[in-house]
């Protein structure tokens, strides 16, 4: 009986061993497949993250370029307006000098007429004095208007200068952001290169 049982065990042993081997092989194969699937998913996730990061960076760069173009255009426009207003101010100042000279001449003429009227009661002389006074009043009004225009022009020039200064500061901030983005992209690229090298080394070690 024992001999028969022993022979049965001996007969079944190879079958069981083969079955066990097959099971181990299947399990090992499944583990490899699962690991490959995990690696593939991880690789896809990494690729998607990298793509999303690159797309975000690209959008930021496009936005920065757009902002820079807008800022440069804003500076150029303000500088052109400033130059135009400075030319206008120069003309107004020259005009004011001419008005001042005219007013001075007319006041001197009026003073002479008034001095003559002290010794002469001529009716025509009195009419000329009144006309001269009207001329002086008109010249004073014109000079005041020109001076008001000079004041307005000066304020515009100061506003343009302030706008240019503020916009140039904005430009500097954009440049700083662009430099920071370049630095981050360079670091990201270097880190990506390091990770690739590590993977290559790991594969070589585990061959």
d(CA 89, CA 160): 13
The domain limits of the chain are 67-174
Q: What is the DSSP letter of 141?
A: H
d(CA 96, CA 143): 6
- The whole-number pLDDT of residue 125 equals 83
Tokens coding 205 = 């070690």
> Is 55 exposed, middle or buried (CB count within 10 Å of its CB: 0-12, 13-18, 19+)?
exposed
Of 8-12, 33-37, 153-157, 196-200, the poorest mean pLDDT is in: 8-12
Q: pTM for the full model?
A: 0.63
CATH class of segment(s) 67-174 = mainly alpha
Region for residue 120 given its phi and psi (left: phi exceeds 0; alpha: psi -120 to 50; beta: otherwise): beta
Contact indicator for 61, 181 with CB cutoff of 8 Å? yes
Residue 207, pLDDT > 60, answer no
Sign of CA dihedral 160, 166, 170, 176: positive
pLDDT tens-digit series, residues 34-51: 776 676 766 676 666 767
pLDDT tens-digit series, residues 131-174: 999 999 999 999 999 999 999 999 999 999 999 999 999 999 98
d(CA 25, CA 28): 5
């Amino acid at each position: 009986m024992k001999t028969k049982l022993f022979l049965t065990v001996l007969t079944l042993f190879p079958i069981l061993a083969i079955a066990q081997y097959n099971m181990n092989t299947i399990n090992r194969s499944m583990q490899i497949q699962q690991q490959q699937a995990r690696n593939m998913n991880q690789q896809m996730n990494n690729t998607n993250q990298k793509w999303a990061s690159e797309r975000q960076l690209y959008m930021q760069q496009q936005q920065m370029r757009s902002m820079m173009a807008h800022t440069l255009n804003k500076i150029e426009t303000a500088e052109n307006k400033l130059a135009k207003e400075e030319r206008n101010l120069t003309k107004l100042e020259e005009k004011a000098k001419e008005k001042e000279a005219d007013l001075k001449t007319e006041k001197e003429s009026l003073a002479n007429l008034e001095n003559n009227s002290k010794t002469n009661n001529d009716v025509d002389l009195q009419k000329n004095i009144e006309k001269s006074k009207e001329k002086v009043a008109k010249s004073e009004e014109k000079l005041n208007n020109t001076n008001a225009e000079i004041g307005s022009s000066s304020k515009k020039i100061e506003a343009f200068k302030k706008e240019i200064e503020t916009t140039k500061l904005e430009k500097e901030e954009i440049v700083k952001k662009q430099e920071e983005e370049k630095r981050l992209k360079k670091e990201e690229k270097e880190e990506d290169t390091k990770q690739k090298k590590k993977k290559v080394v790991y594969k070589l070690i585990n061959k």
